Structures are given as C-alpha cells and as structure tokens.
Amino acid sequence: MLGHALNPHCAFCHLPRISGYPLCEHCHADLPWLLPEQNQPLSNHVNSLSAFAYRPPISNLLLGIKFGKNLHELATLGELTSTGLLPQLEQIPEAILPVPLHAARLHKRGFNQALELARPLAKQLGVPLLTDVIRRSKATQPQTELDSAQRQYNLRQAFQLDKPLRHKRLAIFDDVITTGATTRELASLLLNNGAEQVEIWSCARAILRQSHELTP
Ligand SMILES: [Zn+2]
C-alpha cells in the first residue's frame, strides 16, 4: 500500500509499524482478536466468522467511522479485518455481499462502511463485491431501540432482491454483528432465491449483552 510505504509509523501510535502492515507489534497484539470458539453459528444453516470482539479500540474506530470522523481509518480497519478473517476461512465464496444501507441513509452518510471494510478482503480473495443485487427496501427503525422480538419484526422484508442471483456460495459481510437478526434475514432471502451456501462475516461481533447498546 502506497500510503503505508510513505508512513513508517503504526496507524495507532508512534512506534515503527510491522513491514507491509498498518500497525506496530504492540498495537497488533493488543487488538481484541476474536477466538475461534467465539465464532458461534448464527443458526443451523448459517456459519459466522468475525475478526474481532466488539471492544475498544475496534468499537471506537467503528463508531467514529459511522459518524464520519475517522474515515481515513476505514482502509486500516479493512486491512485488519482481512488479517483476522483470512486464516479462519475454510473455503472461498464466489462473491461477498456487503449488507446494503437504505438509500436515504447511504445518501446522508456518503458511504457504506460494510462495503468499504470488505474491500481489502475481496481484493485478497479475488472475488467480486455484490453491490446491486440486494436493496434495503425499508428504512428500518434503529435496532438499538428495540428488543429481540421487535428487531425480527422490524427487519421483516427489509431487504429485496433486485436481480437474479448468479452465485451459489456467498459471504454476507457486515461491520458489526450483534444479535445477528439483520444478517440472518438477509441470509434467508439469499437461500430462498437460489443461494446454496451462505456464511456471515463481519469485522466485529458483540460478545457481551451491554455491547448491543452501542451498535446499529
Ligand atoms: Zn502501535
């Protein structure tokens, strides 16, 4: 990466970074990498893999990105996500589908953080990012304001297939998985429309209940 080549310092502190990597050894070791046994499946049919537990500094970075503060850190976090997920993959999907934002929210924010975070991973794996297959057809209420049952109802028919699926094996990618309600809804839609295998990947996964309050 040209940006890193020009900057020999860690993206998080003043120490020299690991060659070809955005962070120094200390910051790399301090990240809340998710343990393999914490990657519980979200349902019988849907496997789930995340790079990190939703804890600082990852949670702070994600919130900063969402509110448009630390946009330059999107690329760094995308690279770290790729570093955490790649060794966990048992097989490579045909394509990655970042969870879409509703058009109004995308317009307001200017970017979809799930898409941006998935870019380094898609590049490393050499698979396409699907951005025009699924549309978020309903502006859902913020999930933080709802309990688990309300979340499921809130998400019903939140997504719509815009064109026929051309891939059978897909990975859905989201920035954060909390209850998994959003991604499960999307996985069902894909599986009901020709997908044969769907995994859910994310940058971070909330492990503690109180973490729900901080996520979308
Ligand atoms: Zn550092």
Q: Are 14 and 104 part of one and the same domain?
A: no
Task: Compute the distance from residue 15 Cα to the ligand 1 centre, in Å.
Answer: 5
Q: Are 9 and 76 part of one and the same domain?
A: no
Q: How far apart (Å, rounded) are the C-alpha atoms in residues 137 and 141?
A: 13
Q: Say what the pLDDT of residue 105 is.
A: 87
Task: Compute the distance from residue 201 Cα to the ligand 1 centre, in Å.
Answer: 26
Q: Say what the pLDDT of residue 210 is.
A: 44
The total number of structural domains that make up the chain: 2
Assess whether pLDDT exceeds 90 at residue 207: no
Domain range spanning residue 26? 1-30
Specify the amino acid at residue 19.
Answer: S
Q: Say what the pLDDT of residue 142 is.
A: 64
Task: Compute the distance from residue 2 Cα to the ligand 1 centre, in Å.
Answer: 19
Q: Are 26 and 44 part of one and the same domain?
A: no
Q: Are 9 and 52 part of one and the same domain?
A: no
Q: Are 57 and 144 part of one and the same domain?
A: yes
21-52 residue pLDDT tens: 999 999 999 999 998 788 877 777 788 999 99
Q: Are 137 and 112 part of one and the same domain?
A: yes
Q: Say what the pLDDT of residue 156 is.
A: 66
Q: How far apart (Å, rounded) are the C-alpha atoms in residues 29 and 80?
A: 12
- First-to-final CA distance of the chain: 31
Assess whether pLDDT exceeds 90 at residue 157: no
- What is the band of 143 on the pLDDT scale with cuts at 50, 70, 90? low
Short-list 78, 48, 83, CA closest to 62:
78
Task: Compute the distance from residue 79 Cα to the ligand 1 centre, in Å.
Answer: 15
Q: Are 100 and 179 part of one and the same domain?
A: yes
Q: Are 41 and 54 part of one and the same domain?
A: yes
Q: Are 86 and 15 part of one and the same domain?
A: no
Q: Are 91 and 167 part of one and the same domain?
A: yes
* Mean of the per-residue pLDDT values of the chain: 86
46-57 residue pLDDT tens: 889 999 999 999
Tell me if 49 sits within 8 A of 85, measured CB to CB. yes
Q: Say what the pLDDT of residue 215 is.
A: 45
Please write down the HEC assignment for all residues of 135-156: EECCCCCCHHHCCHHHHHHHHC
CA 13, 16, 20, 25 torsion: positive or negative?
Answer: negative
Q: Say what the pLDDT of residue 41 is.
A: 77
Cα 212 → chain centroid: 16
What DSSP designation does 59 have? H
Q: Are 190 and 96 part of one and the same domain?
A: yes
